[in-house]
A and B are shown apart, each in its own frame.
Chain A
Amino acid sequence: EVQLVESGGGLVKPGESLRLSCAASGFMFSRFGMSWVRQAPGKGLEWVSSVSSNSENIEYADSVKGRFTISRDSATNSVLLQMDNLRAEDTAVYYCARDWQWLVHDSWGQGTLVTVSS
């Protein structure tokens, strides 16, 4: 069974940093791209970033480019999202997702809440 478990969310002040982690299990991690998708409270879905199976292809939404960094660790079967210079508008539930095809998110974690507030 595919499992994706996010961690690392919390309350931070504007300008601070946070690192999210997504632990993957139940599938061959090295064969799949991975993505982060977020959802602000009461709002819709917003794609944040994706990394291909071999890390050669990485993309970011314009809203986070230059502030967020996605990476993956094959030793621990995890995907990370380093979030720097956080803003109030980054407040959201952040979901980790497996990409069956590029940006076709066929499995999702339960999400982790990031709150940016002074």
Chain B
Amino acid sequence: EIVLTQSPGTLSLSPGERVTLSCRASQSVSGSYLAWYQQKPGQAPRLLIFGVSNRATGIPDRFSGSGSGTDFTLTISRLEPEDFAVYYCHHYGRSLGYTFGQGTNLEIK
């Protein structure tokens, strides 16, 4: 089964900065079955990106996803105060199993 490793575990940044979060897979991901979720304290997760680079409905264009093979990234071009949260990558391809990364905590500096 595929394992997703996110880095860094915690990131401290300021509003207005650009951030890139990493998600590395233990096996090559086929079929673009990679998504990203955002979760704020006490709330349910929210889908940001699916199919590696497709923004979900209502997601601002400052969020973008990219990558292929085993290396994937979520980029937030300019951090807004509401973007500070935990971010999870997620593999959802049947052949390699369904798994989430352990999360990256994006906190305000």
Q: Which residues of chain A have a CB within 8 Å of any CB of chain B?
A: 37, 44-47, 59, 61, 95, 100-106, 108-111
Contacts and interface: CB of A to CB of B under 8 A. Distances in A.
B92 A104 contact: yes
B45 A95 contact: yes
Interface stretch (B17-25, B61-69, B70-78, B99-107): B99-107
B54 to A, nearest CB: 9
**Chain B interface size, under 10 / 10 to 19 / 20 to 34 / 35 or more:** 20 to 34
B84 interface: no
A47 B99 contact: yes
Nearest to B33: A103
Contact of A47 (B46, B56, B100, B101): B100
B50 A45 contact: no
A27 to B, nearest CB: 12
